[in-house]
């Protein structure tokens, strides 16, 4: 499958020549480590605030990875240990958009691409996660955080509101706690984020816990994970009867995959499955 085309230069988004490779000094480092694609925001001096270039490159990389069967998961993180992502770069001339005539903003495009992903997205929260950084966190399927990480929606402090972030965050946090974060702009600790179920794990050994989580996905059926994520995302907005009708057909399709046949045969033969990813 060919990689998706790069954004049109005319819409104000920087073009991405090869979405699964990054030149030295790029604001978003794109690296394949075994079966895991790592997307690292390289703007440590700006607390990994997201520029339009970072957003475009991240969206392009996630979209391109969907057609690669050798990629099994995507990790999103920030450089250094102080910040995961501080949100939009407020020092930029146009922090939130480059063209107000465009009906779809750059962040919205990224969130749509993440929503459509059938590869698991895992946030490695290595430090402060604020504003738009909370959007990056929320668009991921799972998250691991360092104990010193802080989480917040401080947009009201600069006269705006985390509108787009709410599209991916509203179903993760209880409404009253979310309202408090949005309306006061006050941050929460990693321990509170774990209590709010905003992250899966908080660990001093951030990379050790991340690898622990990845290992428990990477030995499972690639076909089951792809179709499973598709199913989970599809039914989130469905009423019960619609969901039941949809999943009735999906479970039949699960059983028709080569991985399903191999998994059942391996179970019967008491051996480790040899997944083919189909």
Detail the DSSP E strand segments found in 174-229.
Answer: 188-189, 201-202
Share of the chain above pLDDT 90, in %: 76
Q: How far apart are CA 155 and CA 158, in angstroms?
A: 6
Does the residue 278 lie in any domain? Answer: no
Q: Specify the number of domains making up the chain.
A: 2
Q: Residue 261 contacts by C-beta under 8 Å, 6 or more apart in sequence?
A: none
pLDDT tens-digit map of 82-111: 999 999 877 665 555 655 666 567 888 999
**Is-contact 263 210, C-beta < 8 A?**
no
- 141/259 same-domain check: no
- 67/125 same-domain check: yes
Residue 25 pLDDT class (50, 70, 90 cuts): confident
Residue 74 has pLDDT above 80, yes or no: yes
- 232/129 same-domain check: no
Domain boundary among 178, 194, 218: 218
Q: Residue 236 contacts by C-beta under 8 Å, 6 or more apart in sequence?
A: 171
87: left (phi > 0), else alpha (psi -120 to 50), else beta?
left
CB-count exposure of residue 70 (10 Å: 0-12, 13-18, 19+): exposed
Among candidate residues 20, 26, 21, the one with its CA nearest the CA of residue 51: 26
How much is the pTM?
0.88
Range of the domain at 35: 9-218
**Is-contact 85 48, C-beta < 8 A?**
yes
Domain boundary among 180, 200, 218: 218
């Amino acid at each position: 499958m060919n990689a998706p085309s790069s954004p049109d230069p005319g819409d104000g988004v920087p073009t991405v020549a090869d979405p699964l490779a990054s030149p030295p000094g790029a604001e978003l480092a794109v690296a394949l480590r075994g079966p895991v694609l790592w997307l690292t925001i390289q703007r440590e001096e700006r607390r990994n605030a997201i520029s339009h270039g970072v957003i475009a490159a991240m969206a392009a990389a996630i979209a391109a990875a969907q057609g690669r069967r050798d990629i099994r998961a995507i990790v999103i993180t920030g450089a250094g240990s102080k910040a995961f992502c501080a949100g939009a770069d407020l020092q930029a001339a146009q922090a939130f958009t480059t063209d107000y005539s465009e009906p779809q903003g750059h962040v919205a495009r990224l969130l749509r691409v993440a929503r459509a992903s059938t590869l698991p997205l895992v946030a490695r929260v290595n430090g402060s996660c604020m504003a738009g950084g909370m959007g990056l966190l929320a668009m991921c399927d799972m998250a691991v955080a360092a104990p010193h990480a802080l989480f917040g929606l401080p947009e009201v402090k600069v006269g705006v509101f985390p509108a787009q972030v709410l599209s991916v965050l509203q179903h993760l946090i209880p409404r009253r706690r979310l309202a408090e974060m949005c309306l006061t702009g006050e941050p929460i600790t990693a321990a509170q984020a774990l209590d709010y179920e905003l992250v899966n794990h908080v660990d001093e050994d951030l990379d050790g816990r991340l690898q622990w989580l990845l290992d428990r996905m990477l030995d499972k059926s690639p076909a089951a994970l792809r179709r499973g994520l598709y199913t989970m995302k599809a039914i989130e907005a469905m009423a019960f009867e619609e969901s039941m009708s949809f999943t009735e057909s999906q479970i039949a399709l699960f059983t028709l995959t080569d991985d399903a046949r191999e998994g059942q045969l391996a179970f019967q033969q008491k051996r480790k499955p040899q997944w083919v990813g189909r």
